[in-house]
Amino acid sequence: MSLEHDRIVVDGKVATESREPIVIALHKPVGYVTTRSDPQGRQTVYELLPKLDRFVFPVGRLDKETSGLLILTDDHRLGEALTNPESHVPKTYEVLVDHQPDESQLNALRGGLDIGRGETTQRAQVELLGVSSEGPSLRISIDEGKNRQIRRMLSAVGLAVLKLSRVAVGGLELGPMLPGDHRFLSDADRAALLSSS
């Protein structure tokens, strides 16, 4: 059975989905966890959402110390498409690091590397954005989602993360949303999520 190709008929009429799926973009602030409830009493991303008539789940996670674009939806097909590595949907991050990386460190990040626990990363797009008063910043795009992957990649080449934010999923960018803000995505936004640029 394939829900994409099979039809469900009830009393001679083709059944269709009764309501549009909900897809929300949230600018997750630092300090919030990406769970429905937390036994340790920490703030969760659900506290930032409006009251909804159904449950939405986070598509992937951002750890407590990471901010940025988090997608929440009740559309399981979309969630699978965004998280399955075979879909090659890039997730793009901006990261402030403790010191300026040299070319060998940048090349190691770009080429894929051992990040411990028997895991190796795929190739990544890595760009040095520049150096501010806070320190050097990188823009990193990956199309996989291993646990705490960006932090582990940088640690593997001797760089410490000072600040980390996801700025895009697919072709959908975080844009001017402030931490804690959310918006419901249009059909065009949803299409952008699945694009690679």
Q: Are residues 131 and 64 in the same domain?
A: no
d(CA 159, CA 153): 9
The proportion of the chain whose per-residue pLDDT surpasses 70, expressed as a percent, equals: 90
- The pTM assigned to this predicted structure is 0.88
Q: Which domain holds residue 97?
A: 90-169
Q: Are residues 127 and 177 in the same domain?
A: no
Inter-CA distances, 123 with 112, 133, 135, 143, Å: 5, 30, 25, 9
Band (19; pLDDT cuts 50, 70, 90): confident
Q: Are residues 63 and 32 in the same domain?
A: yes
- State yes or no: pLDDT of 157 exceeds 60: yes
Q: Which residues contact 86 (CB under 8 A, 6 or more apart)?
A: none
- State yes or no: pLDDT of 48 exceeds 90: yes
Supply the CATH number for residue 138's domain: 3.30.70.1560
Q: Are residues 124 and 165 in the same domain?
A: yes
Q: Are residues 50 and 94 in the same domain?
A: no
d(CA 47, CA 164): 21
Q: What is the count of structural domains for the chain?
A: 2
The proportion of the chain whose per-residue pLDDT surpasses 90, expressed as a percent, equals: 83
Q: So which residues are the catalytic ones?
A: 63
- State yes or no: pLDDT of 67 exceeds 90: yes
- The answer to whether residue 6 is domain-embedded is no
